[in-house]
Amino acid sequence: MSRLADLRERHPDDGPRKPPVAEPFYLPTGDEVALFEECHRNQLAVMLKGPTGCGKTRFMEHMAWRLQRPLITVSCHDDLSASDLIGRYLIRHDSVHWQDGPLTTAVRQGAICYLDEIVEARQDTIVVLHSLTDHRRTLTIDKTGEVLEAAPGFQMVISYNPGYQRMLKDLKPSTRQRFVALDFDFPAPGHEASIVQHEGGIGRAEAETLVALAAKLRGFQDRGLAEAPSTRLLVATASLMARGIDTRRACQVALVSPLTDDAGLLEAMNDLLDLTFA
């Protein structure tokens, strides 16, 4: 094996990714499933916009199952570098090996690459996505000299929370306009109750009570609450209830306390719990 080939050898544990076997539970709220399928068929990159915990990640798991494509998910953060996405050289024993990053793995395997909360990543990291989100569908790996063409089935998907990010960070227009945007929000009450009932394992009446409570708690955003209680928090609360935890206590620890540390807001929300479960 030549020295260059040895340097480019991929990590032996970097095996093929497989699509989900069991169908992830997801209840469509509109035409998002059909739209995503058309985007995938036409090799269009997709941007999911919506509040935290409204079902964006579950939607992606469901779509990977429907399309029978591997799904590679990356949770973005301030320190995420281009090398974290593309790959780097690693020293193993007495040799140097190239380790593909998650983006490169997705490009090689024709997987769906899902970058969650993309605006948390550095701008110089986001730029590496551009050549994969237009007609080129290529990824340049400067360290190895490779220019990879995306395998059939590859798709770039990103997500972020517009309400939260508007105050802190945002995507540049040169990035935003490379994506088809699908808007997500918390489901309608009856729809949300069905999700909480199924995922949390509680009865319909209990699920409807939790959803009604969440609607009232979401009103506290007008009083300074940074993030509204999500469907995900409702499912966590329901899971505790299904295992015998007192309803009010489950709501306190899984629905109210995670939302804020502000003493005034917590007192007001706990008062609402007292009224609801008096």
pLDDT at 164: 60
Q: What is the per-residue pLDDT across 208-245, written as a single tens digit (0 to 9) for each?
A: 999 999 999 999 988 888 889 999 999 999 999 999 99
Tokens of 41: 């068929």
Amino acid sitting at position 21:
V
Q: Are 198 and 187 a contacting pair, CB within 8 Å?
A: no
Q: Where are the domains of the chain?
A: 3-183, 189-276
Q: What is the per-residue pLDDT across 80-121, written as a single tens digit (0 to 9) for each?
A: 999 999 999 998 888 899 999 999 999 999 999 999 999 888
pLDDT at 10: 42
pLDDT at 168: 58
Which residues in the chain land under pLDDT 50?
A: 1-15, 166
pLDDT at 19: 72
Q: What is the dihedral of CA 182, 184, 188, 192, to 10 degrees?
A: 120
Alpha helices in 30-168 (DSSP H): 32-41, 56-67, 82-86, 102-109, 123-126, 162-165
Question: Which fold would CATH assign to domain 3-183?
Answer: Rossmann fold (3.40.50)
CA dist., res. 90 & res. 99, Å (int): 7
pLDDT at 6: 42
Q: In what order do the strands lie in the sheet with 112-116?
A: 71-75, 112-116, 155-160, 46-49, 180-183
User: 98: which strand partners?
Assistant: 10, 89
pLDDT at 92: 82
Coil, helix or strand at residue 136: coil
Q: Where are the beta strands (DSSP E) in the chain?
A: 46-49, 71-75, 87-92, 95-100, 112-116, 138-141, 146-149, 155-160, 180-183
